[in-house]
Chains A and B, each alone.
Chain A
Amino acid sequence: MPEVILSAQDLVKHYPIRSGVLRRVAGQVKAVDGVSFDLHKGETLGIVGESGCGKSTLGRLLMRLEEPTSGKVIFGGEDWSGASGRKLRQMRRNIQIVFQDPYTSLNPRMTVGDIVGEPLEIHSDVVPKGGRRKRVQELLDLVGLNPEHINRYPHQFSGGQRQRIGIARGIALNPSVLVCDEPVSALDVSVQAQVVNLMEKLQDELGLAYVFIAHDLSVVRHISDRVGVMYLGRMAELGEEDEVYSRPTHPYTQALLSAVPVPDPTLRGKRDQIVLQGDVPSPANPPSGCRFHTRCWKAQEVCTIDEPELEMRPDGVGAHLSRCHFAEPRLILETVDVSDVEPDTRFAGTEVQDMSDLGSGLGAAGGGEDLGSSAADAGVERSSALHPDTDQAPQDTTRLVDEQPGDDRPTR
């Protein structure tokens, strides 16, 4: 396994609840309560959980946008939770973040060039001043946007395009870790796939490691190598993607998986549905013992007293980390391995270029200029994206559009 690049060690974040006139601390919201994991170079660690489980706070702790109450974040062997000033700025180059909401994550009063160029201005030694504009254009091209659009403002872009801009900003300094906080959950289904494919492409090309925080278990399964399941500020289960999805041992993971609707009506009523009772308890007042025992169908007396450790527990084939006294694997849904199946590219493509000009441009009174410029300027990659073929499925089924030169759809 490649070296560990980022490591969270027993991270804790408690927010004080103040009340009364004197603003006395009346309690603590235990948003993140002792989370540890390692992130290896070039891998994707998915973090899933329901709202209020602390996954977003975890992302912010990793980024040092919040100071942990206790615990450490080790980056490349150095404790970066203690760093400050110059040192902190240096380390920020290596770890960056992509936010959920494409509408609030970009400053509406700055051009795309300024937004993507801001990291280069802050860290002015990375790219000399004269080369910055060119670098920004390279970055835009890399995330599949038209480099000519450098002077546009965020409101001129769609949600998916804005998310690409956010990603371009995130990778501008060549970080080795990108924390992605729900990067596709605000996007439409058809656009989600474009962004996910882009992120996979960038990972392959740049060797990025992702911490992919999301509530959508299907997306997380798709993109992640390893997955951590969080519940009420704690990691309930952590393991390889296959271990967690095919052989979950924690009842919460099992319930979560069974609750996800699968887009296959033939499975209706045939799936192992576990309907949990009640809601997630408040993180201000988490249950004693195992935090899940209030909703767990397996709970015994011991669960209300002793908190189980996150440790290796057998899952039928091997063992992976799980935090349950009565951990046992349960097959929630049959996994089909489709890695050898070539995607059908007759109706949907696997390219990563943004092709929004396509959708709204045609027939548009003012859109003609766009189409002209995009087709003319973006060069080979763009036109290849515009000509997905209909008959010959490309031999190469990776997501790299650059490597699909064989496309020859007739021009518009």
Chain B
Amino acid sequence: MTTTQDTTTPKEKTSGVTYTPEDGLLLEVEDLYVEFHTPDGIATAINGVSFDLHQGESLAILGESGSGKSVTAQAIMGILDMPPAVIPGGHIRYCGQDLLSMPEDQRRRTRGPEVSMIFQDALSSLNPVFPVGWQIAEMFRMHRGVNKSDALQQAIRLMERVQIPAARDRVKAYPHQFSGGMRQRIMIAMAIALDPAVLIADEPTTALDVTVQAQIMALLEELQQERQMGLILITHDLGVVADVADRIAVMYAGRFVEKADVVELYSAPAHPYTRGLLESIPRLDQKGQTLAAIGGLPPNLMRIPPGCPFNPRCRRAEDVCRRDRPELREVVPGRLAACHFAEEVINA
């Protein structure tokens, strides 16, 4: 089986560059901005986002479509198409080194093996004309310079690790010959092939059925524990977050509106948006529930309202919310929220 990495020792990659996380701090995103320059105007997809990720930690970024959660992931991975995307400001540091100011080839050598990503749609992320085993083996050949047969052996071991039945017989199978769940496992195998320190999972189970979702989330959690990876889980599903994440950042209109420990956030949300979300989902373990809904829609990213971006939908909004933009601030120790009335909300 795969070797468990001693995470305190620096990892030597073929790139020759070594990265040592200081105090377990892997990734540091600071005041990141991303804009999309479209013919109709400038859409601000990310509007000053900051967060840290430590070894063995799982951070969930929760948001609805258009909140900028996927763009954040793509900015970290460096897979935004620029143009139309522009990063006017901010830093993304991996083990202290700023990925955004690195020369292109160094950045590529860093991101590839150190930070990897799983996408929602496994079918379109895999190349349909190559066998899956070959695609996994290619990772080893490209980044580790392993010879062909060894690479294939490692690919088989990896496929076994992600619990693909009869892996040895199926290395030569093509992506379309696998079910959705199995394809997502293959994606995971490829993502962890080079022992990344950071794994970003962008809606990894949204396209899957619940029973398969449970399998995949269990596998992800297990792998993360085993390898002490930093996991960024991007999702809109409050249930999935509650099951796997340690910390959670709620994103709205390109900003974090709340950041907290998962248990604390669910028990007492500090932002009206988080609160509204929690109240608007039907729960499997409740009956006779009356659903509360947040009215309206997330704002148009080209015309984000002044003041708090949530104010038009917020029932608590007052004049100050329409005027001043609340910054993300510490409400109680360890709890950050961007709301003028966060104390009131958290105690409600």
When A and B assemble into the complex, do they touch directly, with CB atoms less than 8 Å apart? yes
In the assembled complex, A361 has its CB within 8 A of some CB on chain B: yes
Taking a contact as CB atoms under 8 Å apart, the answer to whether A189 and B287 are in contact is no
In the assembled complex, B78 has its CB within 8 A of some CB on chain A: no
Summarize A's interface: helix, strand, loop or mixed: loop
Taking a contact as CB atoms under 8 Å apart, the answer to whether B292 and A349 are in contact is yes
Taking a contact as CB atoms under 8 Å apart, the answer to whether A363 and B303 are in contact is yes
* CB nearest neighbor in B for A363: B305
From B87-95, B101-109, B116-124, B206-214, give the one contacting chain A.
Answer: B206-214
A262 and B236 contact, Cβ closer than 8 Å, known pairs A190-B294, A348-B275, A348-B293: no
- Tell me the bound Cα distance from A147 to B20 in angstroms: 61
Interface string of B146-182 (1 = CB under 8 A from A): 0000000000000000000100000000000001111
Taking a contact as CB atoms under 8 Å apart, the answer to whether B315 and A349 are in contact is yes
Taking a contact as CB atoms under 8 Å apart, the answer to whether A268 and B315 are in contact is no
- Tell me the bound Cα distance from A412 to B305 in angstroms: 13
A221 and B291 contact, Cβ closer than 8 Å, known pairs A215-B209, A265-B266: no
In the assembled complex, A124 has its CB within 8 A of some CB on chain B: no
In the assembled complex, A222 has its CB within 8 A of some CB on chain B: yes
In the complex, chain A residues 331-366 whose Cβ is within 8 Å of any chain B Cβ: 333-351, 353, 355-365
In the assembled complex, B239 has its CB within 8 A of some CB on chain A: yes
Select one of A215, A360, A397, A398 contacting B299, CB under 8 A.
Answer: A360
In the complex, chain B residues 261-305 whose Cβ is within 8 Å of any chain A Cβ: 262-263, 266-267, 272, 275-300, 303-305
Taking a contact as CB atoms under 8 Å apart, the answer to whether B279 and A255 are in contact is no
Taking a contact as CB atoms under 8 Å apart, the answer to whether A189 and B280 are in contact is yes
Taking a contact as CB atoms under 8 Å apart, the answer to whether B287 and A245 are in contact is yes
Chain B contacts for A196, CB-based, 8 A: 282, 291
Chain A contacts for B322, CB-based, 8 A: 362, 412
In the assembled complex, B44 has its CB within 8 A of some CB on chain A: no
The interface on chain A, measured as residues whose beta carbon lies within 8 A of the other chain's beta carbons, has a size of 83
In the complex, chain A residues 232-251 whose Cβ is within 8 Å of any chain B Cβ: 241-242, 245
Count A/B pairs, Cβ under 8 Å.
247
Chain B contacts for A399, CB-based, 8 A: 290-291
Select one of B179, B266, B316 contacting A279, CB under 8 A.
Answer: B179
Taking a contact as CB atoms under 8 Å apart, the answer to whether A279 and B182 are in contact is yes
In the assembled complex, A105 has its CB within 8 A of some CB on chain B: no
Residue among B181, B237, B263, B284 having the largest count of chain A Cβ atoms under 10 Å: B284
In the assembled complex, B65 has its CB within 8 A of some CB on chain A: yes
* CB nearest neighbor in B for A367: B303
Chain A contacts for B212, CB-based, 8 A: 50, 279
- Tell me the bound Cα distance from A363 to B295 in angstroms: 17
The interface on chain B, measured as residues whose beta carbon lies within 8 A of the other chain's beta carbons, has a size of 69
Taking a contact as CB atoms under 8 Å apart, the answer to whether A338 and B287 are in contact is yes
Taking a contact as CB atoms under 8 Å apart, the answer to whether B315 and A347 are in contact is yes
From A59-67, A91-99, A270-278, give the one contacting chain B.
Answer: A270-278
In the assembled complex, B1 has its CB within 8 A of some CB on chain A: no
Taking a contact as CB atoms under 8 Å apart, the answer to whether A346 and B348 are in contact is yes
In the assembled complex, B85 has its CB within 8 A of some CB on chain A: no
Taking a contact as CB atoms under 8 Å apart, the answer to whether B211 and A256 are in contact is yes
Residue among A259, A335, A344, A398 having the largest count of chain B Cβ atoms under 10 Å: A259
In the assembled complex, B223 has its CB within 8 A of some CB on chain A: no
In the assembled complex, A83 has its CB within 8 A of some CB on chain B: no
Chain B contacts for A395, CB-based, 8 A: none
Taking a contact as CB atoms under 8 Å apart, the answer to whether B288 and A189 are in contact is no
In the assembled complex, A324 has its CB within 8 A of some CB on chain B: no
Taking a contact as CB atoms under 8 Å apart, the answer to whether A259 and B239 are in contact is no
Residue among B263, B267, B287, B314 having the largest count of chain A Cβ atoms under 10 Å: B287
Chain B contacts for A398, CB-based, 8 A: 290
Taking a contact as CB atoms under 8 Å apart, the answer to whether A259 and B289 are in contact is no
A189 and B277 contact, Cβ closer than 8 Å, known pairs A346-B316, A355-B295: yes
Can you show 17 pairs from A to B with CB atoms below 8 A apart? Answer: A188-B298, A189-B64, A194-B295, A218-B284, A221-B287, A223-B282, A255-B211, A259-B211, A334-B285, A339-B289, A343-B292, A347-B348, A348-B280, A359-B312, A363-B299, A388-B295, A399-B291
| 7 pairs of A and B residues whose beta carbons are closest in the complex | A339-B288, A261-B239, A359-B296, A363-B305, A359-B297, A355-B295, A348-B292
Contacts beyond the supplied A158-B297, A189-B281, A348-B294: 11 A-B pairs with Cβ under 8 Å = A193-B291, A193-B294, A263-B281, A265-B262, A338-B287, A344-B292, A347-B272, A348-B293, A348-B315, A359-B312, A399-B291
Q: Name A's B-contacting residues (CB within 8 A).
A: 50-51, 158, 160, 188-194, 196-197, 215, 217-219, 221-223, 241-242, 245, 255-268, 273, 275-276, 278-280, 333-351, 353, 355-365, 367, 385, 388, 390, 397-399, 409, 412
Q: Name B's A-contacting residues (CB within 8 A).
A: 64-65, 165, 179-182, 209-215, 217-218, 236-243, 245, 262-263, 266-267, 272, 275-300, 303-306, 311-316, 322, 345, 348
